[in-house]
Structure 1
């Protein structure tokens, strides 16, 4: 085989260039700390690193979602706590207004503070998360949820609850709708409610209403009627919606002489009145409706403003105060339940945060194993490559002087 001088020199140059390229590759690896600088360096490892890097970024996004959901839930918990404080203050004012020493003028002064408090409730219910998104508007986060229209506060949001992806297979609700929190609240004892007839002229007032046998279905509405008999004694009778007598478990009508403070029992329920009714007075008994917290306070303000100090109006006011206190207790119970759900969600977020953090650490460790450089091994290769380049350069210097003309 014949090898020309030019071919020999070109081969030497190629060897030097290859050695320089290899040395540069190791230099870049040492400079970046990464073993894989391009997919061609390790196609399988590059694919694995790409998938691991994607998984790390996804885990980091879950963490950011978690932090945002936690911010909303903690803010919601604070708002609910402040709301409970305001409702408790209104309840204190209600008890104060129920005192026999209060007159219509002083009750109107109490009603004035209640108006300020109900405005405060509306402001709390319209809290946003600092980014212009309302906490209690459901999915309509850009819509102010509670507005006063006419004589009452209306809800303009929806009943959705925003949820957030905080893990590969975990979504957690990060809000409660304003409808369930402030609008859809049970009244009375949650089962039935007694209301006073506006035409009543007596001093009878509601003193207690309770369920004594929850296995019996409520079949109301009913009406409790008071009438004087021929001897002038006050009698009561319970009738159904058609005006027919309600029968007890023995098949006898629920009726008899009225006794101040004695319970009237029917349909597994018990209603107690105090004070003396007038002939023709009546009270309605119906399933407990659901009512907004704002409406409860508005009704109470109206009662404090309008009820006079005479016997009949005073008795009606005391019945309305009893109902308002029950409704506020139901509202406080509902707020506490919502806060408990919020706390449970915060605990779930904290648990998911720890799980995501552990998963991210594992992913980063594996990613480091796949793409990070082993410095000790790389430095050893760098030194070997450097020695190889020096040898190639020295041999080229020798080979380039090999020419037949040097010996002629």
Structure 2
């Protein structure tokens, strides 16, 4: 069989180039720690790795949302806890004021304390998060939700009707925390403070602020509202309803927080499984790669030596 010089040259250079490519590719694998450098290395493995990577990315986004939702609900629950404490203190003082031996002056002293409680309650209702957004304003989170008419006399009373106005809306912010779950991360102030509900779920007709204002007016001799057992009893019932309503709101928030905790654990476990699967598909076996590197190095050296020797062969070299 006749073999031309060009055939010898082409075969030799092709062999060297192949070994150089193998050596370069293995070096790249060792430097990156990845077995698959391009889809052509392992089309099936590359496709599976892409799918797993996309699923992992989506799961990580849900983990971020879970963290954000948990943070928002923690602030919400902490604020509601403060509101609940204020309402309980108000109720205790109101019960104390019902003592038949108390004089108008003594009830007036309690009314003065309740005025301070009212201001504290309004402050909690206007709580802002770390970015300055109002947590009870619904979707209008840049707007202070509760406004007080400081021009009224006395300042806690705004005359007939409500003494505190709500400037937010009925929206409820939420976050997508899984492929099939959206969780509310806020409560709007209208539902929490303005729509107090009784044990049967019916609206009592008074906001928390109205209930407290009414109690203050009944206890404060300066208000001109006479203290009667019937009015006092109704005001006390309204205070109790406000506490029960707030407890119901907190229970709903607490249930969401527990759900998020469980979902976060599941998402973290999924993230670990995705990471493990990606490692199985992509990560390099260093022991095998180092062995291949040595083999390709020897093969390259052999190919170079063989090419050198065969390229020197010609008819004239044997004459």
TM bin, normalised by shorter chain, reads 0.7 to 0.9
Relative to structure 2, which stretch is displaced further, 27-36 or 288-297?
A: 288-297
Provide closer, same or farther for how the CA distance between residues 401 and 93 of structure 1 changes in structure 2, counting only shifts above 3 A: same
Aligned residues: 308
Does residue 226 of structure 2 align to residue 313 of structure 1?
yes
Q: Matched residues in 2 for 1:398 and 1:8: separation?
A: 11
Relative to structure 2, which stretch is displaced further, 300-309 or 164-173?
A: 300-309
Q: Matched residues in 1 for 2:256 and 2:286: separation?
A: 46
1:326 matched to which residue of 2?
237
Give CA-to-partner distance per residue, 1:336-360, whole Å, 9 cap, x none.
1111111111111111112112222
1:167 matched to which residue of 2?
178
Provide closer, same or farther for how the CA distance between residues 308 and 179 of structure 1 changes in structure 2, counting only shifts above 3 A: closer
Does residue 93 of structure 2 align to residue 93 of structure 1?
yes
Instruction: Judge conservation of contact 1:129–1:135 (CA < 8 Å) in 2.
Output: yes
Secondary structure of 1:66's match?
A: helix
**5 Å matches for 1:7-22?**
7-22=7-22
Instruction: Judge conservation of contact 2:215–2:236 (CA < 8 Å) in 1.
Output: no
2:155 matched to which residue of 1?
none
The one of 199, 206, 212 aligned to 1:297: 212
Instruction: Judge conservation of contact 1:185–1:290 (CA < 8 Å) in 2.
Output: yes
Residue 148 of structure 1 and its aligned partner are, at CA, apart by 1.5
Secondary structure of 1:290's match?
A: coil
Q: Matched residues in 2 for 1:308 and 1:9: separation?
A: 111
Does residue 115 of structure 2 align to residue 104 of structure 1?
no
Q: Matched residues in 1 for 2:140 and 2:289: separation?
A: 57
Residue 288 of structure 1 and its aligned partner are, at CA, apart by 7.4
TM-score (norm 2): 0.87
Largest Rg, 1 or 2: 1
Secondary structure of 1:129's match?
A: coil
Q: Cα RMSD (Å) of the superposition?
A: 2.5
Provide closer, same or farther for how the CA distance between residues 372 and 391 of structure 1 changes in structure 2, counting only shifts above 3 A: same
Instruction: Judge conservation of contact 2:195–2:203 (CA < 8 Å) in 1.
Output: no
For CA contacts below 8 A with separation 6 or more, give which structure has more relative contact order.
Answer: 2
Q: Matched residues in 1 for 2:223 and 2:72: separation?
A: 46
Q: Matched residues in 2 for 1:296 and 1:350: separation?
A: 36
Q: Matched residues in 1 for 2:223 and 2:285: separation?
A: 90
Structure 2 unpaired stretches of 5+: 153-157
1:55 matched to which residue of 2?
55
TM-score (norm 1): 0.69
